[in-house]
Amino acid sequence: MRLCAFATWPWPTPSRALLGTTQWSSPGGVQRGQRYTFLPTGVVAEGWVELERSVLLPYSAHDIFDLIEAAEHYPQFLPWCTGVTILERSDDWVAARLDFSYLRLRFGFQTRNPKRRPEWLRVQLVEGPFKHFRGDWALTPIGRNGCRVSITITFEVADGFFDSVAAPAVDRVARAMVDAFVKRADATLTMLDPAQDAVSAVTQTGTRTAS
């Protein structure tokens, strides 16, 4: 099963940014009331699930990348995440073990993830209850308006009894992930102000250097 969700909205007070039918007011010339929709795109393969989401955020790509990369803070805001251990971190890689608890099901997995700040981070499975798991974060700056953040998650859980129990749990955790990151960004990051460039330009124009 493959589901996509593309989120686009003008720069709001974004604390409830991914609740589907919420309308937003905005500064500047951006239209009010833009919304995002879920777009089903068909079956990838039997037993596989692929989720895609894309959202515009009024924060810098560097700040959003750092929020995504800092997995040690996930238990503070990511639903059902109970623990994270950072195993390795460098300019090019970050490796971690993540543990989740959903209803009576507990599962964890280990990843080693190549990255290029602030452009992308690729979640690659090392060990866990999956035949396949991969997540791709991509960030695209859009000037002083913020950045576009996209995530694609593809997974296939392992065979056996765990399969029928884990698939719905992993699916729900994955779907809640972007919402959780947006709320965390709202709570911890400084929103970019597109009007600041205009103010700076006026200030510089009005400044004269005495000769």
Q: How confident is the model at residue 56 (pLDDT cuts 50, 70, 90)?
A: very high
Q: Which fold has domain 2-71+116-206?
A: Alpha-D-Glucose-1,6-Bisphosphate; Chain A, domain 4 (3.30.530)
Residue 118 pLDDT: 97
Question: Closest by alpha carbon to 72, among 55, 60, 89, 59?
Answer: 89
Q: Which residue has the higher pLDDT, 42 or 143?
A: 143
Q: Considering the chain, what is the average pLDDT of its residues?
A: 74
When mean pLDDT is compared across 67-71, 85-89, 99-103, 195-199, the lowest value belongs to: 195-199
Residue 112 identity (one-letter amino acid): R
CA distance 126 to 21: 38
pTM, whole model, 2 decimals?
0.72
pLDDT tens per residue across span 102-113: 877 888 899 999
- Location of structure tokens 């280990």: 110
pLDDT tens per residue across span 15-39: 333 333 222 223 333 333 333 333 3
Residue 197 pLDDT: 53
- Say if residues 104 and 168 touch (Cβ distance below 8 Å): no
Beta-strand relationship, 49-57 and 2-7: parallel
Q: How confident is the model at residue 140 (pLDDT cuts 50, 70, 90)?
A: very high
- Location of structure tokens 């700076």: 200
When mean pLDDT is compared across 53-62, 154-163, 183-192, the lowest value belongs to: 154-163
- Location of structure tokens 């007011």: 25
CA distance 5 to 37: 6
Interior/surface letters 31-64, b for 16+ CB within 10 angstroms, e for the rest: eeeeebeeeeeeeeeeeebbbbbbbbbbbbbebb
